Structure 1
Amino acid sequence: MLLKALGLNGRPKPVSPGPVPNALWKIFEAGIDTENPCRIEGFHVPGNIVRSYRDQGPFISNEVPHKSLCFKKHLFFDLSVIEKKEQVTFGQLEIKFKHNTYHGHEFQLRLYRPLHMSLKVMRDHHTNRKILFAQSFRLLHKSLNFNLTKVAQDWTTSENNMGLVMEIFAGDEETVNKLSQLCEQIHSFVHISLVTVSLDATSCKASRSKRSAESSLPTPSNICSKRRLYIDFKDVGWQNWVIAPRGYMANYCHGECPYPLTEMLKGTNHAVLQTLVHSIEPDITPLPCCAPTKLSPVVSMLYYDNNDNVVLRHYEDMAVDDCGCK
């Protein structure tokens, strides 16, 4: 049940997981704004789920090679894990290169969106594709990032997801004699990934009021109260797919709800009447139960999903903040 609540169809078993993008680490380490938990400040957009997808597309061989073309590649990212209740608010393509050196030569990158899916489109039928970006760059330490929000929104419908075509050129005809050497630098890129931010409005709740001073008052050990419980993901066998945190303070409620219920025990009207009846007929009517009355706003988890994608997600109601009688 808990795995399903986390948006998983089973316990993930990462086979060849990719690296965690720096952007996701920064968002995780920055923590959550409990007043506005359904906003990803790292990208300045609404959302509570961040996913990173690795490129699954193949290289494309050209029937008629261009003189300065280093390579052509089909980019494909499987966005089928995004649920219908989610709204994609941001999408960014990142192209990262292994070499951090500056070679002084300028390359050209072009990104196209196929209008029809076929092998011919992927090769040379330029009329069946739409150019999205054309950018010059040099081999510097910075990644190349492209905003694909509108494209990612379309890709949530699988029949619209035909991926992209990427072409990288080494320059004009004057550099043809150095083409092999220049293209070798380009082929050494580490990986291409897509990051999406989506909003699951059903998981967004209004910010809760701050804990009252009364809830922190000391209570007798046998009276209903919050007890400390730290869940270590290694203890429950989740360490292979949960990246961070290693665990969290979940807490639990335990103790008696004696008659008469004091205000400190935060009993419901039903619980107050139940304790009254229990005082008269203790063998027939049990005492109320000690249960959570307030749950911590959000817990963030960074993990691999069932498709080896890296996911950063904010979850509600995973830690007990206060207890009372019900």
Structure 2
Amino acid sequence: MLGTVLLLLALAEPAFPSSASARRAEALKRLLEVFGMEDPPPPPAHFKQPPQYMVDLFNTVANADGVTKNPDILEGNTVRSFLDKTHGEKMRFLFVLSSVAKNEKILTAELHLFRLWPRVTDGPKRHHFCQVSVYQVLERSDLDAPGGKKLLAARLVSLQGSGWEVFAITEAVRDWTEDESSNQGLLVTVQGLGGSPLDPPPLQFASSQDHHESKKPMLVLFTDDGRRGASLPVAGFPDSQPQAPLPAELSVPRQARLRSTRSLDRLQPCQRHPLSVDFEEIGWSGWIISPRGYNAYHCKGSCPFPLGENMRPTNHATVQSIINALKLSEGVSSPCCVPDKLYSINLLYFDDDENVVLKQYDGMVAGSCGCH
């Protein structure tokens, strides 16, 4: 219920500006803490198109509201994407990982390179494949020295067609996050089947400078920040239970209406009600890509004796309800209407360095309500 109160505070228009502005600021600060942030990232200085891979991944993991629909896709709870910073230096790549938090556990790191259509050559086509190798650069000034580079991945790549090639480079990224100064970048080589040099190489990858945004080299990092909790997938997500309409009371004074509403709430059975969270209204739409908002839902209503199965009571709530009804013990209240299923949501957003991040947050949506 604390999260519900904070969201309502954050979204509410201040009635008394002298104190409400400070209250709103405190509520938004607490809301940022829920999302694991101290300050909201600034919106990108210029319009940026997020990598299609990250958009597709978000749509695979979550529904339109960001609620998790496939919990088995992500290995951890965070996916970060980084674009190459070498500004077009051929076959050399550098990714700045300063935005990776120290508490994040590196699970998998992938180098995504877009394979261009092969060059047209005058001579006969003797090969249909070439060998692509990815090296971690250890000595930028002397790559050919014995300790100048370390092989991370190598495989045969077709010389026909174009598309994305993905190479696992987890070992290198773990080195870089432990010691930022060790990040000398990556080197990619293209050789013949027997390791022979090919000049010019028949295979090229899109660079960060000369090609479209959608084809730029990218590092994708799967991590976990240790914040995972008990949260359920959206499968079987119940439809919203409509709230019973209230009688028109426009002529009744505000305090009387509030008292009347509270009385009606006590008469209504425990059920789930909508609670819309609009990121644009909060002021976060500049850095959040998807979703634009979501329905957190909240639980409201009474838990009267006797508790039926439709109230989804725990055994403890049933006993408490009996004790309360029979007045067997002084000071024992009736059970409370609270969420008994919680679902996670996913945010796709720009971080402080304008990298695109997909992050999953547990316990953000009330899936159903019960008497506890």
Change (3 A) 1:103 1:322: same
Residue of structure 2 aligned with 1:91, choices 106, 109, 116? 109
Residue of structure 2 aligned with 1:39, choices 73, 92, 101? 73
State TM-score, norm by structure 1: 0.68
Question: What is residue 8 of structure 1 aligned with on the other side?
Answer: 37
- Structure 2: stretches of 5+ with no match in the other structure: 1-29, 191-195, 245-263
Question: What is residue 68 of structure 1 aligned with on the other side?
Answer: none
CA contact (8 A) 1:18 1:54 kept: no
State TM-score, norm by structure 2: 0.61
Q: How far did 1:241 drift?
A: 1.4
Q: How far did 1:10 drift?
A: 1.7
Question: What is residue 198 of structure 1 aligned with on the other side?
Answer: 223
The letter for the 2-side match of 1:29 is N
Matched, 1:129 2:148: yes
Matched, 1:149 2:167: no
Which structure has more strand as a fraction of its residues?
A: 1
Distance in structure 2 (CA, Å) of the matches to 1:288 and 1:244: 37
CA contact (8 A) 2:71 2:233 kept: no
Task: Provide, for residues 21-56 of structure 1, a one-character-per-residue CA deviation record: whole Å limited to 9, x for no partner.
Answer: 22222222223597971433xxxxx33321101233
Matched, 1:164 2:185: yes
Question: What is residue 48 of structure 1 aligned with on the other side?
Answer: 77
Q: How far did 1:6 drift?
A: 2.6
Distance in structure 2 (CA, Å) of the matches to 1:253 and 1:321: 10
Question: What is residue 292 of structure 2 aligned with on the other side?
Answer: 246
Question: What is residue 179 of structure 1 aligned with on the other side?
Answer: none
Question: What is residue 339 of structure 2 aligned with on the other side?
Answer: 292
The letter for the 1-side match of 2:51 is P
Question: What is residue 25 of structure 1 aligned with on the other side?
Answer: 55
Distance in structure 2 (CA, Å) of the matches to 1:239 and 1:28: 17
The letter for the 2-side match of 1:114 is V
Distance in structure 2 (CA, Å) of the matches to 1:218 and 1:236: 25
Task: Provide, for residues 281-326 of structure 1, a one-character-per-residue CA deviation record: whole Å limited to 9, x for no partner.
Answer: 9996654432211112x32221112332211222221111111233
Distance in structure 1 (CA, Å) of the matches to 2:366 and 2:84: 39
Q: CA RMSD in A?
A: 4.7
Q: How far did 1:72 drift?
A: 7.0
Q: How far did 1:151 drift?
A: 1.8
CA contact (8 A) 1:261 1:272 kept: no
The letter for the 1-side match of 2:71 is P
Task: Provide, for residues 52-73 of structure 1, a one-character-per-residue CA deviation record: whole Å limited to 9, x for no partner.
Answer: 012334677xxxxxxxxxx574
Matched, 1:114 2:114: no
Change (3 A) 1:232 1:173: closer
Question: What is residue 6 of structure 2 aligned with on the other side?
Answer: none
Distance in structure 1 (CA, Å) of the matches to 2:234 and 2:117: 52
CA contact (8 A) 1:74 1:122 kept: no
* SS of equivalent to 2:56: helix
CA contact (8 A) 2:231 2:362 kept: no
Change (3 A) 1:174 1:197: closer
Task: Provide, for residues 165-203 of structure 1, a one-character-per-residue CA deviation record: whole Å limited to 9, x for no partner.
Answer: 44779xx99989xxxxxx9x9661343320112245651
Identity of aligned residues (%): 27
Distance in structure 1 (CA, Å) of the matches to 2:103 and 2:369: 35
Matched, 1:189 2:211: yes
Distance in structure 1 (CA, Å) of the matches to 2:93 and 2:170: 19
Matched, 1:81 2:100: yes
* SS of equivalent to 1:20: coil
Change (3 A) 1:279 1:59: same
CA contact (8 A) 1:233 1:247 kept: yes
Distance in structure 2 (CA, Å) of the matches to 1:254 and 1:285: 20
Task: Provide, for residues 53-98 of structure 1, a one-character-per-residue CA deviation record: whole Å limited to 9, x for no partner.
Answer: 12334677xxxxxxxxxx574513215524535341x22212348x
CA contact (8 A) 1:260 1:276 kept: no
Task: Provide, for residues 101-144 of structure 1, a one-character-per-residue CA deviation record: whole Å limited to 9, x for no partner.
Answer: 664269998754233xxxxx423453142153678897965245
Q: How many residues align?
A: 295
Distance in structure 1 (CA, Å) of the matches to 2:50 and 2:328: 60
Distance in structure 2 (CA, Å) of the matches to 1:173 and 1:212: 57
Distance in structure 2 (CA, Å) of the matches to 1:34 and 1:73: 37
Question: What is residue 66 of structure 1 aligned with on the other side?
Answer: none
Q: How far did 1:149 drift?
A: 2.3
Q: How far did 1:225 drift?
A: 1.0
Q: Please identify, of 248-257 and 18-27, the stretch whose mean Cα deviation from structure 2 is larger.
A: 18-27
Distance in structure 1 (CA, Å) of the matches to 2:37 and 2:132: 36
